[in-house]
Chain A
């Protein structure tokens, strides 16, 4: 069976959920071989094996943290070459983060392959893997293939349910020679983001968002309380972010995160096309807005026309009561 390389997104050895989703998708088209780089790379093996990785190629070097993107491209290229030499390679899958897409693109160019980004599904086809994309603010669904080279595909978080499938997960160290470009862009400083304790926005099963209607940074406490009652992540519209009420890292939409949770609750958000671009693929959509004409109501499964300052606290209280 052909191999499928899966690029591992991890934080000091803790594998992030989108990678486990990729392993699940990879098994539809071949045998997953994972590539984990940087500090803690070796610690990823158990989780990767549990989810179907037959092999885990690891490499650590200070270059991964000290320089932007290119060292990781060099390593992934080395992995492609070693797997291709040993057998046949069906595809390379990379999580669709901003960095993941950049790594995938440069790799594709180097190995003479086409690239598809932001796939929301992947299946085997007669002429190689077929990717589903959700485009034009999710108003169209396309099916595409890479027609030249080894398909390089980036996949959005929440594209499939994670399935465990224990495999060998044999750890092998990867030999990497860094290219002349590897040290071109120095990382001269790094300020880690403080954890809020809430789920990661792009990975969360439930997202509760607030917009201009929230009317002030202090009122975001209402949105956070609702989110906490549901174990949800907090999102915000660009209007709320631009007003300084919530950090940009929580922005949902075209220039923020794109989310695809089981449940999305929009509070005081009108539903502009750029916001919809980031949340329209959510499975169930709920909105609270005092304007019955707000475009967000065109998308909802359930909508409440009302003042969020009345509805949201009542909802939170009711949820907390029901949960006992």
Chain B
């Protein structure tokens, strides 16, 4: 038996940097350093653990849709231990919305071949948290999402989803789409050996024509949503800051009373 896992990983602007929008109201990727979305490291980690815990022959492929620099995200995932990588890159992808992104990802996943897709719970830039559900809908396979615990055995994926009202045990047959939370287990750091090995691992590059997609189906023009304006939030007016010299709690209570919270 063999198990083919595709992990979707996104290349995002560093959240600790000065993120902002370009003139066309898409994310400015030139001015801020990018990296592998931290939450996708958990997805890579779970794929590697499933692989390590399996008697089957498991292949872990990492997949990204993004600009040229997005290769950095793939390298990071490869150095953690993934076997190979696919980079979907095309100038016409600029400004793609989530419906379009899920279309490109689904086409690439089908072309790559898969038994299991693993995604992060949300990207750290768009933070929509809907790509995994969209992939399941497009691929026509079960969605087993937001898992804080996941295991795969005999063609079945099981996991725990911690929701607001309850914690649920889920189960589905493969093929399936899974997403994992940051509660699923610390992601490993790439070892020196891993980093060296990653340099030799294959990275395939596909464009829209490889996926039999037309430019009109994606990009800013093909988007089903439109951003009309983006403005920086006005800086908060400097607040009052007091040093506690024995009366700090009382002073704070006075402030809260003044604001009618008490």
Contacts and interface: CB of A to CB of B under 8 A. Distances in A.
A304 B244 contact: yes
Interface string B138-176: 101111111010000000001001111111111110001
Contacts of B128: 101, 105, 117-118
A315 B249 contact: yes
A297 B170 CA distance: 42
A315 B253 contact: yes
Interface in A125-152: 130, 134-149
B2 interface: no
Given A113-B224, A274-B15, A141 B230 contact: yes
B83 interface: no
A63 B227 CA distance: 37
B58 interface: no
A319 B262 contact: yes
Interface stretch (A22-30, A79-87, A178-186): A178-186
Given A140-B230, A147-B225, A185-B171, A115 B130 contact: yes
A101 B164 CA distance: 14
A190 B226 contact: no
Interface of A (DSSP majority class): mixed
Contacts of B247: 314
B16 interface: yes
Contacts of A284: 259, 261
A215 interface: no
A176 interface: no
Contacts of A97: 164
Given A136-B19, A140-B233, A273-B15, A302 B255 contact: yes
Contacts, number: 259
A269 to B, nearest CB: 15
A292 B166 CA distance: 39
A301 interface: yes
B262 A114 contact: no
Contact of A144 (B16, B228, B240, B242): B228
> Which of A102, A130, A305: most chain B Cβ within 10 A?
A102
Contact of A310 (B19, B130, B244): B244
A313 B249 CA distance: 7
Interface in A94-125: 97-99, 101-102, 104-106, 108-110, 113-118
B253 A189 contact: no
Nearest to B240: A302
Interface of B: 15-16, 19-21, 25, 39, 97-99, 102, 121-122, 124-125, 127-130, 132-134, 136-138, 140-146, 148, 158, 161-172, 176, 181-183, 223-233, 236, 239-244, 246-253, 255-257, 259, 261-262
Task: Report, nearest first, the 3 A-B pairs whose CB atoms are least far apart.
Answer: A306-B244, A314-B249, A114-B224
Given A114-B224, A140-B231, A303-B241, 4 more contacts: A188-B171, A299-B236, A302-B240, A322-B253
